[in-house]
Amino acid sequence: MHIPSAALGACLLAGVERDTRGCVLEEAERFNYYPATPMVVISWIFEGTLHMVEEGGSSFQPMLRPALPRLVVSGPQRRPSVSWSPGEVHALSVGFYPEAIGRLIGRPIDLYFDQHLPLETVAPTALLQACEAVFGAADQDPFAVLEAQFQPLWREPRQASPAPYLGNWVRLLTTRATHSTAGQSLRQWQRRVRDWTGQSYRDLQLFVRVEEAFIRRTETCNSSAPDLADIAADAGFADQSHMGREVRRVTGLSPARFGERLANDEAFWYYRLVESSRKEDCKAGGVTCRI
């Protein structure tokens, strides 16, 4: 996991680099499970191919979509997603705050919900060229090159970048909306949040609560089996059933089943990486945690 420097802390949430070259993985271990997310993600596929996976029909067999382009932008995803690689793969995926990428692209983010598109069909020339330059550093430090390319495009104030938390972002976002000079009514505040992110404040709170439940689980699972009722209460859910429904919306699994897959399934590597980054006291300024 790559944490951005303060210069880009208000633009990038984090980067995740996956390199399976030289690894011996079974077919089932080459799946990649991701949660629903309000972030916009740009991905560089340096080597190998990746396919998004659709659930099958009555046969319950997954179906592969065509291979993703080497440079792909994924809009905010309102459902969990799965990808699969037929062999070794080296890829970098970077999460951008939706209000930031909307400013760089110059289009409303809600146009790209639940889509995976070639970046060239979305990005203006300067943004596309900056992203294409990252391919030249595939085997060195592609994230460092990305930051160097993006700093001339992003002229906003510096912002420290701790281990990535959606809750911090939502709180900063709502504070900005509250102090905006464009109007102070509740309706105007709600409109600003939706214009910036493509989603309502209520939609964003779903991700914050589920993230808080994940944090609470991380804090308690080292000493004993997590108490899901206590986690639900601490994370702000009405009850355990409420937590179960919302965790399923974000991850596709019940809390108990999610815990099992997290512990035992290679394909849930992304969640373990996020968990690891939060256990470590990642500091702002280019900290890199690799698994």
Q: Given this model, what pLDDT does residue 257 score?
A: 92
The CATH number of residue 75's host domain is 2.60.120
Check whether residue 85 and residue 119 sit in a common domain.
yes
- Is-contact 12 4, C-beta < 8 A? yes
Among residues 153, 179, 166, the alpha carbon closest in space to that of 76 is found at: 166
Compute the distance between CA of residue 119 and CA of residue 128 in angstroms, rounded to an integer: 7
The per-residue pLDDT for 162 is 54
Neighbours of 178 (CB within 10 A): 11
Write down which residue in 150, 181, 199 finishes a domain: 150
- CATH label of the domain that carries residue 238: 1.10.10.60
Look at residue 267 and tell me if it is in a domain.
Answer: no
pLDDT digits (tens, 9 = 90+) for 90-130: 999 999 999 999 999 999 999 999 999 999 999 999 999 99
Per-residue confidence of the chain (291 residues) as pLDDT tens digits?
999 998 999 999 999 999 999 999 999 999 999 999 999 999 999 999 999 998 754 445 678 999 999 999 999 999 999 999 999 999 999 999 999 999 999 999 999 999 999 999 999 999 999 999 999 988 889 999 999 999 999 987 776 655 568 988 998 888 888 877 666 688 888 888 999 999 999 999 999 999 999 888 877 765 566 788 989 998 889 999 999 999 999 999 999 899 899 989 999 999 999 888 776 644 434 333 333
Tokens (6 digits) for 151:
């700093």
31 shares its domain with 80: yes
Task: Please tell me whether residues 145 and 170 are part of one structural domain.
Answer: no
Q: Indicate if 175 and 138 belong to the same structural domain.
A: no
pLDDT at 227: 84
In this structure, are 146 and 239 located in the same domain? Answer: no
Same domain, 21 and 104: yes
pLDDT given at position 163 = 58
**Range of 146's domain?**
6-150
Answer yes or no: is 104 within a domain: yes
Do 194 and 115 share a structural domain?
A: no
The verdict on residue 57 lying in a domain is: yes
Report the 10 Å Cβ neighbour count for 55: 10
Q: What angle do CA 178, 182, 185 make, to 5 degrees?
A: 55
Whether 261 maps to a domain, the answer reads no
- Pair 233, 128 in one domain: no
**Are residues 143 and 182 part of one domain?**
no
Count up the domains in the chain and report the number.
2
* 287 domain-assigned: no
Q: Which two tokens stand for residue 101?
A: 């990428």
Same structural domain for residues 144 and 171? no
User: Are residues 135 and 224 both part of a single domain?
Assistant: no
Mean pLDDT for the chain?
Answer: 87
Q: Tell me, what's the pLDDT at 291?
A: 30
| pLDDT for the residue 156 | 79
